[in-house]
Amino acid sequence: MHDERRRIEDRVERVLQQRIQPAVHAASLPFDVTAWQAPDEPVPFAEAASQTYEPFAMGTPWGPPWGTTWFRVRGEVPAHWVGRRVEAVFDLGFTGPWPGNQAEALVHTLDGSPLKAVNPQNQYVPIANPAAGGERIDYLLEAASNPDILAGGFRPTPLGDKATAGREPLYTFARADLAVLDEDVWHLSLDVQVLRELMLELGEHEPRRHEIMHALDRALDALDLDDISGTAADVRELLRPVLRQPAHASAHTMSAVGHAHIDSAWLWPIRETKRKTSRTFSNVTALAEEYEEFVFACSQAQQYEWVRDNYPRVWERIKKAVADGQWAPVGGMWVESDGNLPGGEAIARQFVHGKRFFMEHFGVETKGVWLPDSFGYNAAYPQLAKLAGNEWFLTQKLSWNQTNKLPHHTFWWEGIDGSRIFTHFPPVDTYNVEFSGRQMAHAVRNYQDKGRGTRSLAPFGHGDGGGGPTREMMERARRLADLEGSAKVKVEHPDAFFEAARAEYPDAPVWSGELYLELHRATYTSQARTKQGNRRSEHGLREAELWATAAALHAPGYDYPYEKLDRLWKTVLLHQFHDILPGSSIAWVHREAEAEYARVARELEALTGDALSALGSGSPYVFNTSPRARAEVITGPDGAPVHTEVPASGSAPVGAGEAPRPVSVTGRTLDNGLVRVTVADDGTLASVRDLVADREVLAAPGNHLRLHGDLPNHWDAWDIDKHYRNRFTDLLDTESVTVVGSGPLVGAVRVERAFGKGSRIVQTVTVRAGSRRVDVATEIEWHEAEKILKAAFPIDVRADRATAEIQFGHVHRPTHTNTSWEAARFEVYGHRWVHVAEPGYGVAVINDSTYGHDVTRTTRDDGGTTTTVRLSLVRAPRVPDPQADQGTHRFTYALLPGATVQDAIAEGYALNLPLRVAQAAGSIEPVVSSDNPAVTVEAVKLADDRSGDVVVRLYECVGGRAKATLRTGFPLAGAQVTDLLERPLPDEPVTVADGGVALTLRPFQILTLRLSRA
């Protein structure tokens, strides 16, 4: 037989694109269009409906960046269209296929009811089949002219902020028509697309490919190109046999669930996300009415709340779809947060607020964690997920790895405490599945667990900026349900998939530890002020809850601020979204985030002040929020330094405790009897000597600042590529090196530098009496572009691994690069501390707001080993925010010689939870205290059910088994172990004896206790 593949394949492609698809709408009539431009921010429907609308012609430019134009469209259905499928069709001047990052609109009836949204992949609004001619159509379109931020690739653009975007129109309205959908032609188009794409993915020697090819060739012979509509039905009949061929018995099964990934902010501000949710959810609920088998999975309780509050009619449609089983709340988190940077308690609250929202409003308890797009996942997640009542975990982001491919798609993920959760990565490698032939074939080829598992999950629908599933996707799913040569598609709830996957593969392999994304490593550093705002907010919330609980217990008449704390937590949780906290959003988003964090800080300061005031007034006392007893030099009420000892989570009079040995200052050498620090002429730390261990800590000058060029290959705000290390400038020139603290309690040296393009950095190196910690308070006026600033501490230890704090524990990472897995971890994250050690001696680097760092190991000429810890202080990416990180930054990091992991934990808390001075009537007994420092109290609050019970979250922090007694500062009646949502866990009994709670914890175990008062 002659090889005619090229002729037939080209014929099918051209006829489909140039004849069949253009004939999908058989007839059309233009709407009469008028318009009103909202002057600034979006307005409610009622306000827009009351405006005067001016005539508007197709082909007219419209839409300034971030603007809103309301269009009124009016038309009449002709009598001869009666009984046909009539719809309104709109092309706003779409500039490409991506529905989420350009013009989009929500269509309303005149009474304000949202009907459906339009975007480049979903341009129609159905009109009920008219019973008679003359039906009048009158709609209002709320059209958003959002700019395409990445239209020019990874290049700086002023469009990411309304203040710099200008007012020139971005779009040209191309079409607003009443049209008739020719259903035979539309279905033929889908038949041909599915068959053609399947054919092209099959091997050239597979009979099925040739069967489809010749069937298409014969079918097109029957298609009259001058009468597509009249012959479409006959052509469909000719294709029916090849579409009815059943799949092989061993065919892979794709469990498909509708999805619309909507970033809560990214290349658009939060206010636009609120409208995106209404647009997408309108489309989804409309699709559910048309396809009874449709199931849509949707996460992020915050987005549901926005719709509930702003679009009540869409909210009612969502509730109906949930009740009908077509809408599946999933994920159980307030937002799809970043997976690395939020603190442990914050991730717990993500689950608490998310799951409670779904239970309260839908009566649904979600069973799984749905995080398809976060940039890596911390090793505490399995335990936190299980403690929130979850059974499964889903992501696909690790398919983006630059270097290594994970060996499983379905597996058990084991956390640092040993907890395991059933986990799946969809092998289709996207959460925006369209059921293209290429996607279907890729999923089957890519699936790592062949021979053991037979199924995978496929989230289908347009996403990132929303859009969601389309009717075309549903039609493709129907055709692919059981089709020879393809994987089988079954639309179902993700819970059903996970139940079936676990049943067939209960002994799936285990992946232990963090799920590190070998990409987007710069998200640990970009937009430093956003990250600092998050860190400060998390610790401020801890402080406010602790002292509010103390006041509720001891101050008659004090009202615990449930509503305010709830609102502030939700604000912080929202800004942990995986494109806000990582620093990968446009300027507008981060400008607003900084303002929100400032507001949160003010409100938390007021709440903490109110609680302490309620506890009584009198002499100045020092309050310690951290779970460790402290002896520190603080600034007293008169502004002078004073040394004070304070119990964990308690208070003491200013100046309590024994005075430590004073600090001596000789030249630029600071000595407090524990450490001796010398600052060099170039401002580096020439020496840090541990006087207790009698050894030099540094192998080379410390606090060595290095400025690197930082232009990644792609994804500027997200990525730091390894080649950044190859070009750098050492910042060794100083303007001044000055002693600013000469004892007896504080010794300090200030170093001032100017560098680069007008940047300045002022650092104050401080040693305090009684403390081994060497603080480096830093203020940077940053004006660099495409640079990263690192601070290095070359430590004289041979450390095989570096230990970094994560949520509710820590992880160990090798310092060598034996394998590609270790080499890929050239930039990693940690929370409050990094620790490196050799047997018998360790050193920690503490921080109050940075996350990114790297740890390397070298051999010196003397044969010794240097382990260098480098903190990533600030970056300067230009996409998507051209001014990212520009301006002033203030933060502190510290070196802690002779530190154990326990010491690192204690000083990490101390640096992040400064002691507070307030007037008090006397010392406040700690609400709770642990007699074993390995059992660390992380959160203290009143129970959310307002019963007055005290809820305490604690964890084993060292990585070993620990026994402790938890003492309370109030009469204790009883104790229960609960899950994160404060629900009793009957299989976890505790013993209350002698007024305390006896505890035994496994390594890194998290325990939540509900304590009832006598």
Q: Residue by residue, what is the 3-state secondary structure of 392-450? A: EEECCHHHHCCCCCCCCCEEEEECCCCCEEEEECCCCCCCCECCCHHHHHHHHHHCCCE
Q: Do 869 and 855 meet the contact criterion of CB atoms below 8 Å apart?
A: yes
Catalytic residue among 177, 191, 338, 373: 373
CA distance 77 to 956: 70
For the beta sheet containing 368-370, the strands, ordered from the edge strand earlier in sequence to the opposite edge, are 368-370, 392-394, 420-424, 410-414, 510-512
Tell me the DSSP string of 605-638: HHHHHHHHHHT--SEEEEE--SSS-EEEEEE-TT
CA distance 525 to 892: 15
**Token duo for residue 473:** 């996707």
Q: Do 92 and 118 meet the contact criterion of CB atoms below 8 Å apart?
A: yes
- CA angle centred on 295, ends 291 and 300, rounded to 5°: 135
Long-range own/partner contacts, residues 837-841 (CB < 8 A, 24 or more apart):
837/797, 837/799, 837/803, 838/797, 838/798, 838/799, 841/693, 841/695, 841/797, 841/898
For residue 935, the surrounding DSSP H or E stretch is: strand 935-942
Nearest-CA neighbor of 346 among 330, 335, 359?
Answer: 335
Nearest-CA neighbor of 899 among 815, 832, 998, 986?
Answer: 832
Nearest-CA neighbor of 288 among 262, 259, 327?
Answer: 327
β-partners of residue 675 are: 690
CA distance 124 to 181: 10
Q: Residue type at 771?
A: S
Contacts of 963 (CB under 8 A, 6+ apart): 932, 998, 999, 1000, 1001
Cα–Cα distances in Å, from 883 out to 524, 574, 585, 943, 947?
A: 18, 23, 12, 43, 49
Q: Report the helix count and the strand count for the chain, using DSSP H and E.
A: 18, 55
- 373 catalytically annotated: yes
Nearest-CA neighbor of 1006 among 923, 913, 937, 916?
Answer: 937
CA distance 848 to 908: 8
Nearest-CA neighbor of 147 among 79, 93, 75, 86?
Answer: 93
CA distance 583 to 716: 11
Give burial (CB, 10 Å; 0-12/13-18/19+) of 758.
exposed
Strands 728-730 and 704-709: antiparallel
- Per 3-state DSSP, what percentage of the chain is helix, strand, and coil (rounded to 5)? 25, 30, 40
CA distance 303 to 280: 11
Return the DSSP state at 18: I
Q: Which residues are known catalytic residues? A: 373
